[in-house]
Structure 1
């Protein structure tokens, strides 16, 4: 084969490919527009208008009535952790009666046995919870540790952008359910 015959064959190959591509393209366009014609779309202008970006008003933020209950725990003096576990269980049973959504945040010093007991008590309640720990430090005053624990919880809430009403509940406190219903109705 000489050079001229090879170039003719290449030209024929390319022309066949172009014809094939054009035919497939036309069938594709026809297949895409056929359902629009069957539905009675009045004109192509309506189709073009549907692809134009429209500026829509931002949807209103949902009214989230999440209740964030923060409980700070102190290690027991007798080191058995039973009274802390009992207090968490009692508060947990009260919080189970509060209608969801509710997130219980429990903050305690990092101690293997106390943490394990607290998590066991929290899991037994069936509530959605987060257990936060911190490295135990020497605090000067009796209220310094509680203040530090509350700041740990608030940092967590801010970091994860948890929306809702925050209540600092004492583990040994007794609550009426109407109190939590009133908290859920609180709005900014």
Structure 2
């Protein structure tokens, strides 16, 4: 039993080391793992394989290294984290107000097969997009999308406010602006009134807020 406890604690410490390279809160958000769960893992708690695999991907380390301390004869854990950190990318905030979300490049490229240089991060505010999005959810936006070409989630700016809405192209060049929360009725915007909002890009990834 003592050996098992020691092994779990060592795994927790390696996971902590990996998560700290991108920020523990960011690691939880990017992997879709509640912060309290990640904290329990780092403290030596029982680990769920699927959550651990997701954490390893976003932190840019191998699952074998977290589990066993080695990865195909690689150096020690600290060296492994340092080596893989070069495969990380920072997705900047839309307004560059602070450091962005540091995330494993390989995982992001697989999850979001887009030009990574055009991605930015915003926070969803309000309840208009529930249940799809909750207030405070992280959203990655592809700024390379500059026109509404199909029904999808888009980030908009209107009257100085950032928002996420579902846009549906209409015949004649207008769009229907849809909030997934049925308390908010859809709005039809004619083609000659599209300047009432600015299209920031298409939403390509969403992540929930970890609860403490």
TM exceeding 0.5? no
Bin for the TM-score computed over the shorter chain: under 0.3
Higher strand residue share: 2
Going by fraction, where is helix more abundant, 1 or 2? Answer: 1
Greater Rg, structure 1 or structure 2? Answer: 1
Q: Which has the higher contact order (CA 8 A, sep 6+)?
A: 1
Give me the TM-score of the superposition, normalised by structure 1: 0.25
